[in-house]
């Protein structure tokens, strides 16, 4: 019983979030021998964001075939069901303490769970309009792209006929095509930056194939209409992202979709006192995807925003294996050795993981990162201290695509004095 007389459930491993990350983490933890696993999901079904992504393009790396989002999710849901891993639906986790006590709320009320290990897999959410400073009224007809996607694909609602999209993240690009296929006219996708934040394949397949203009270095500077949106002003911006006077152009529309970035859902992680990374918006983790609270791991979009779900599943499987190892050893073995810090420099925005305990590494470790601009013909170099260990030529690097380098344990152990590993772009 807790201090306030609530019974306390106990589970070996609790996974917060039943999206692709949570499901893959559960399947891999079971494969690694964890018997008592509970997935907690606030929605009425597992699958996460994939449930509303009815387009194809998922699973090429994992299954060697192109699946829709729900098909991809279904494969993991089946695995979890076959393993009899319970997924408690309609239940939201509201607190995680440093000693891994979890507070949940569902229709049955508040419940408490003590977990031997926890995997954070809460995904991310869209940056809302409130976080953007666009003048004008707040009329009806403005949606985040993901909300519009949910309304259309899950609730079967029609959104609008004349559409402008602000932001060229993947959800915005996919919704440009989706709305066109539903008979709407998308007059423009305006992007503040000089490059798109989306995948190249989505720019081609969702905009270029349908003749939808992508206005780079442009933004919406005014919203017209009082009760319902009637149009927007789009303006070109300079290198400081300030609107250039005289470039205003009016676009009539009844719908404005916002696709202006995703924010990892880390209120729980922050409240638990986990050290967060300012660039990724997710926890800082080591090679086992362990946060700085022993026994608490993170994977998927809550850790950093991914481009492909295949990488989410791969990363989540690693978190599942690490949680199993933690539970069977009863301690964080990796913490026995001093951490090597990973540094992102020269065009590399961040790395995941952010630090490595060499003794805790598998034979190979994939380090993922994103770049801060479009680059052509650059080398991705890896330095152990001041010595360059490897460099790999890349013809194209873009902020919308995740990149990776693979480090080997053998190599790292052969440089025992290494305190820092730097990943950077070079000419």
Ligand X SMILES: Cc1cc2nc3c(=O)[nH]c(=O)nc-3n(C[C@H](O)[C@H](O)[C@H](O)COP(=O)(O)OP(=O)(O)OC[C@H]3O[C@@H](n4cnc5c(N)ncnc54)[C@H](O)[C@@H]3O)c2cc1C
Chain contacts with ligand X (rule: CB under 6 A): 16-22, 40-43, 48-50, 53, 57-58, 92-93, 121-123, 146, 149, 170-171, 174, 265, 268, 300-302, 306, 308-310, 312
Which residues lie below 8 Å from residue 316, measured CB to CB, with a gap of 6+? 20, 21, 22, 23, 24, 25, 28, 119, 121, 299, 300
Give the residue with the Cβ less far from ligand X, 48 or 167.
48
Q: Of 188 and 303, which CB lies nearer to ligand X in the complex structure?
A: 303
Euclidean distance between CA atoms 285 and 289, whole angstroms:
5
Residue 37's contacts (CB-CB under 8 Å, 6 or more residues apart) are 11, 12, 13, 14, 15, 26, 29, 30, 85, 86
Nearer of residues 12 and 401 to ligand X, judged by Cβ:
401
Q: What is the largest CA-CA distance in the chain?
A: 68
Smaller CB separation from ligand X, 70 or 295? 70
Q: Least distance in Å: CB of 257 to ligand X?
A: 11
Cα–Cα distances in angstroms (integers) from residue 50 to residues 27, 34, 127, 298, 306, in the given order: 18, 26, 18, 19, 13
CB of 388 to ligand X, least distance (A): 32
Exposure string for 211-244, b = 16+ CB within 10 A, e = fewer: ebebbebbbbbebbbeeebbbbbbbbbeeeeebe
Rounded Cα distance between 324 and 311, Å, is 20
**Residue in the shown chain whose Cβ atom is closest to ligand X:** 19
Handedness of CA 166, 171, 177, 178 (dihedral sign): negative
Nearer to ligand X, 40 or 367 (CB): 40
* 77 or 171: CB nearest ligand X: 171
Whether the Cβ atoms of residue 406 and residue 364 lie closer than 8 Å to each other = yes
Least Cβ distance, residue 175 to ligand X (angstroms): 7
Q: Is 234 helix (H, G, I), strand (E, B) or coil?
A: strand
**Shortest Å, Cβ 3 to ligand X:** 23
Q: How far is the CB of 200 from ligand X (least distance, A)?
A: 13
> How big is the chain by its Cα radius of gyration, in Å?
23
**Spatial CB neighbours of 283, under 8 Å, sequence gap ≥ 6:** 120, 266, 269, 274, 275, 276, 277, 291, 292, 298, 303
CB of 118 to ligand X, least distance (A): 12
| Helix intervals (H) in 209-343 | 267-271, 309-329
Nearest to 32 by CA among 356, 332, 285, 328: 328
Structure tokens, 49: 């964001």
Q: Residue 55 or 325: which CB sits closer to ligand X?
A: 55
């Amino acid at each position: 019983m807790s201090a306030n007389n609530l019974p306390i459930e106990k589970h070996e491993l609790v996974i917060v979030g039943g999206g692709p990350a949570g499901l893959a983490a559960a399947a891999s933890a079971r494969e690694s021998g964890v018997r008592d696993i509970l997935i907690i999901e606030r929605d009425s079904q597992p699958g996460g964001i994939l449930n509303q992504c009815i387009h194809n393009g998922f699973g090429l790396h994992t299954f060697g075939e192109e699946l829709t989002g729900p098909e991809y999710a279904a494969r993991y849901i089946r695995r979890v069901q076959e393993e009899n891993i319970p997924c408690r639906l309609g239940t939201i986790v509201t607190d995680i303490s440093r000693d891994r006590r979890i507070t949940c709320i569902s229709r049955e009320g508040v419940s408490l769970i003590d977990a031997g290990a926890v995997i954070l897999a809460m995904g991310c959410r869209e940056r809302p309009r409130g976080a953007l400073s666009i003048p004008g009224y707040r009329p009806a007809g403005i949606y985040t792209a993901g909300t519009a996607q949910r309304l259309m694909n899950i609730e079967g609602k029609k959104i609008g006929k004349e559409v402008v999209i602000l932001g060229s993240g993947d959800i915005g690009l996919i919704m440009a095509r989706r709305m066109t296929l539903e008979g709407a006219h998308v007059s423009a996708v305006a992007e503040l930056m000089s490059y798109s934040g989306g995948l190249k394949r989505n720019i081609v397949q969702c905009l270029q194939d349908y003749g939808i203009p992508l206005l780079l270095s442009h933004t919406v500077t005014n919203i017209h209409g009082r009760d319902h949106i009637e149009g927007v002003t789009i303006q070109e911006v300079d290198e400081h992202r300030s609107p250039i006077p005289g470039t205003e152009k009016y676009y009539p529309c009844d719908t404005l979709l916002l696709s202006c970035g995703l924010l990892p859902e880390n209120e729980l992680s922050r409240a638990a006192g986990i050290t967060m990374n300012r660039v990724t918006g997710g926890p800082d983790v080591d090679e086992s995807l362990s946060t700085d609270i022993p026994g608490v791991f993170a994977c998927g979009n809550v850790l950093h925003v991914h481009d492909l779900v295949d990488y989410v599943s791969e990363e989540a499987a690693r978190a599942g294996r690490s949680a199993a190892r933690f539970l069977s050893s009863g301690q964080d073995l990796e913490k026995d050795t001093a951490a090597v810090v990973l540094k992102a420099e020269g065009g590399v925005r961040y790395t995941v993981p952010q630090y490595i305990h060499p003794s805790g590494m598998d034979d190979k470790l994939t380090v993922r990162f994103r770049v801060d601009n479009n680059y052509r013909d650059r080398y991705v170099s890896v330095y152990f201290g001041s010595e360059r260990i490897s460099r790999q030529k890349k013809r194209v690097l873009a902020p919308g695509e995740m990149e990776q380098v693979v480090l080997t344990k053998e190599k790292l152990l052969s440089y025992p004095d290494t305190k820092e590993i730097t990943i950077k772009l070079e000419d």
